Amino acid sequence: MQVMPLTATTERYARCIQASKRIRWEIDRDVIKGRKLDFGTTFLPDGLARMGALEFLTGDERRFASQIQGRTYANMFGLVERFIAAKVLEVSREHWFGDQVALEALVRFTDEELKHQELFRRIERLAAAGKPVAAVCHGPAAFRRAKGADGAPLVKGKTVTGFSNSEEAAVGLTGVVPFSVEDALKADGGRYSRGEDWASHAVVDGNLITGQNPASSEATAKALLEALAPLETGLTGRR
């Protein structure tokens, strides 16, 4: 079998392989290490978050805004990594039956990108852990087909409410809206609860808070504030 000399491009790929073999990391062992996010602090450094420029915010509001930024970064970069991994695999096709050094380097690169995706998913789950979710009136429509951390429908087995079919009919929108909030919650396994039409009716089931109609806004907001209060103490993990 004839051994082909390494080209300059192949040598570059070979150096990538050497670096990959030398520096191997694992999400749990080297990054997470059993830790949890501390909700009593910001999620991003001040130089990146630039919260100091928002002088109209209080300290607590800046901290909360930084946490929103952190979760946005995690979701945004997690999405970008999906495209990078797909593109690298596409490029690797050119080397399937050719430069095997290049192929190995690209496969190793893809493995890194897949770990990055999982890392950002883990960060999002850490940020979402224990956080309440609230919606009122037609807002619970956002839960349609939404999945929880376990992959099951978010509302499955939970007591929830939202704009009722009778209220939808009363305002003449039954044939206008794309789907019924009440029916969608039931279809996803939610235990739909309702009060009298147009009367305040809010439901709390774990971290899920829902209100039936506009009159339920105040009760839903109060329930959300009560659920958020314990988070002010922060959630800390091992340092």
Q: In whole numbers, what is the pLDDT of the chain averaged over residues? A: 87
Contact between 223 and 204 (Cβ < 8 Å)? yes
Give tens-digit pLDDT for 14-34: 999 999 888 888 999 998 898
- Superfamily of structural domain 133-233: Class I glutamine amidotransferase (GATase) domain (3.40.50.880)
CB burial of residue 43 (10 Å; 0-12, 13-18, 19+): buried
Give tens-digit pLDDT for 129-178: 767 889 999 999 989 988 876 778 989 999 999 999 999 999 999 989 99
Give tens-digit pLDDT for 44-85: 888 888 888 888 888 888 888 888 888 888 888 888 988 999
Give the mean model confidence (pLDDT) for residues 180-184: 96
Question: Could you state, in order of their start, the residue ranges of all structural domains in the chain?
Answer: 8-128, 133-233
Task: Please give the Cα distance from 125 to 131 (Å, whole number).
Answer: 10
